[in-house]
């Protein structure tokens, strides 16, 4: 593991300390931070190690098409998640699309509306109707009973989303899928390195889809993968990501271009060596937020301490008991240069094209609406430290008092 120093010191030197409410920018003060603090600032490993891989790529003259670095990355990610196959792809959305096609989903597929829009787009893009089911207001993941209510004769599958890295109700969803003969897969874009009942994500449903986007716990610039224990499914997806080629001039399956490049795999290999540091920073920041926000009328999303998690998303919920609204807090944080996010407001069902296609979907999505109106995601990662967390939390405190 590389021993990279956490690069927070520059930011700490430039903090504008706030002692009273009049110091807030909304009251005429100067911003707490000179540079914007992003949710999703990339966690990057050792640059020198990356450059050594670049040299190797130039020497090999092998840039794409299942190159040696992609194969090494796949093996290491499969080992990490204790799963048989990792099929690397160019991004998480294409990985979802390929998994959906490989499972031959058609008609209607049930998923949460409270997710990143890519989950719903991946279905709609393939002329499958996304049917939005409500979530549990505590876990923010699919509510199994709500899923049951949305099943029709046209339903062919369920996509559970492990939101914030917290596992969807895997066993209950599997029981429903078995009862109705449906395919089950998981959007595990947030769940790299997380577990469910002690077993690593990647081992549930027919397959699980990871995202390695720049903003994720683990990134390959852009990238994604499907994890599965199903040999046939893995083989099918390998064909599909490479136009269906089974050797020179031999196309044996419909396909697309979902390949990961060697340069992306190089970034992944470097970032895998840095995962311990990212996890340590994320956990430290999460615990610091927990302590700093404990006495405020907000709630920090709680993770099950028995499970493995990556703490990549620090999710703060602003309830009705709070004297200021969620949107007022976000606005006040933004002018302080804390670019907190309202993920995943307003819910997929309120975005195009789904808003027009299903104008009444919200009637059955009351918990989705409630949660989407409450959540603020705060900055974390290796560029954030406890002092920055304290400053951000202090702004929230002043707004709430």
Residues forming contacts to ligand T4K in the complex (CB under 6 A) are 38-42, 91-93, 115-116, 118-119, 161, 187, 189-190, 211, 213-215, 224, 339
Between 66 and 215, whose beta carbon lies closer to ligand T4K?
Answer: 215
The DSSP result for 61-126, as a single string, is T--SSS-HHHHHHHHHHHHHTT-SEEEEES-HHHHHHHHHHHTT--SEEEEESSS-HHHHHHHHTT
CA 325 → CA 42, 193, 320, distances in Å? 29, 34, 8
Q: What is the residue-wise DSSP string for 115-165?
A: S-HHHHHHHHTTT-EEEEE-B-TTT-SB-HHHHHHH--TTEEEEEEE-GGG
Of the pair 130, 224, the CB lying nearest ligand T4K is at 224
State the Cα–Cα distance between residues 72 and 267, nearest whole angstrom: 12
Cis upstream peptide for 384 (omega within 30°): no
Alpha carbon 120 to chain centroid, angstroms: 14
Kind and range of the H or E run holding 355: helix 354-357
Residue (117 or 386) nearer to ligand T4K, CB: 117
Q: How far is the CB of 381 from ligand T4K (least distance, A)?
A: 10
Residue nearest to ligand T4K (CB): 92
Q: Which is nearer to ligand T4K, 161 or 384 (CB)?
A: 161
Q: How far is the CB of 20 from ligand T4K (least distance, A)?
A: 30
For ligand T4K, the closer of residues 23 and 134 by Cβ is: 134
Question: Strands 129-133 and 108-112, how do they pair?
Answer: parallel
Dihedral, 331, 333, 336, 338 alpha carbons, nearest 10: -120
Rounded to whole angstroms, how far apart are CA atoms 114 and 164? 11
Shorter beta-carbon distance to ligand T4K: residue 116 or 301: 116
Q: State the minimum distance, in angstroms, from the CB of residue 41 to ligand T4K.
A: 4
Least separation, in Å, of the C-beta of 214 and ligand T4K?
4
Q: Which is nearer to ligand T4K, 164 or 289 (CB)?
A: 164
Least separation in angstroms between CB 240 and ligand T4K:
16
In the complex, minimum distance from the CB of residue 247 to ligand T4K, in angstroms, rounded to a whole number? 29
Give min distance, CB of 261 to ligand T4K, in A. Answer: 14
């Amino acid at each position: 593991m590389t021993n990279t120093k956490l690069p927070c010191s520059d930011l700490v030197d430039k903090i504008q300390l706030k002692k009273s409410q009049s110091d807030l920018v909304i009251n005429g003060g100067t911003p707490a931070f000179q540079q914007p603090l992003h949710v999703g600032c990339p966690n990057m490993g050792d640059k020198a190690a990356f450059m050594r891989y670049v040299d190797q790529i130039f020497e090999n003259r092998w840039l794409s098409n299942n190159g040696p670095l992609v194969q090494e990355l796949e093996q290491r990610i499969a080992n990490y998640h204790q799963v048989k196959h990792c099929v690397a792809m160019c991004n998480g959305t294409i990985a979802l699309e390929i998994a959906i096609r490989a499972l031959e989903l058609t008609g209607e597929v049930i998923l949460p509306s409270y997710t990143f829009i890519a989950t719903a787009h991946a279905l709609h893009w393939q002329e499958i109707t996304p049917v939005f089911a409500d979530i549990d207001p505590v876990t923010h993941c699919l509510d199994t009973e709500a899923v049951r209510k949305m099943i029709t004769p046209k339903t062919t599958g369920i996509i559970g989303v492990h939101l914030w890295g917290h596992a969807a109700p895997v066993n209950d969803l599997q029981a429903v899928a078995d009862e109705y003969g449906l395919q089950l897969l998981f959007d595990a874009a947030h769940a790299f390195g997380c577990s469910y009942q002690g077993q690593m994500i990647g081992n549930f449903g027919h397959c699980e889809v990871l995202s390695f986007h720049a903003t994720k716990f683990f990134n390959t610039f852009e990238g994604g993968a499907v994890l599965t224990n199903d040999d046939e499914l893995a083989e099918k997806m390998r064909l599909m990501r490479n136009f269906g080629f089974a050797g020179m001039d031999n196309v044996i399956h419909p396909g697309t271009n979902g390949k990961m490049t060697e340069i992306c795999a190089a970034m992944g290999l470097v970032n895998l060596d840095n995962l311990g540091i990212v996890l340590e920073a994320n956990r430290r920041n999460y615990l610091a937020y927990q302590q700093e926000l404990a006495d405020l009328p907000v709630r920090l999303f709680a993770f099950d301490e028995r499970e493995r998690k990556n703490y990549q998303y620090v999710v703060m919920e602003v309830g009705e008991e709070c004297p200021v609204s969620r949107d007022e807090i976000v606005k006040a944080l933004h002018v302080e240069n804390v670019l907190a996010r309202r993920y995943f407001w307003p819910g997929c069902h309120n975005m195009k094209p789904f808003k027009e296609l299903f104008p009444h979907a919200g009637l059955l999505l009351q918990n989705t609406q409630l949660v989407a109106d409450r959540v603020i995601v705060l900055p974390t990662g290796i560029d954030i430290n406890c002092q920055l967390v304290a400053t951000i939390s202090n702004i929230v405190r002043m707004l709430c008092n």
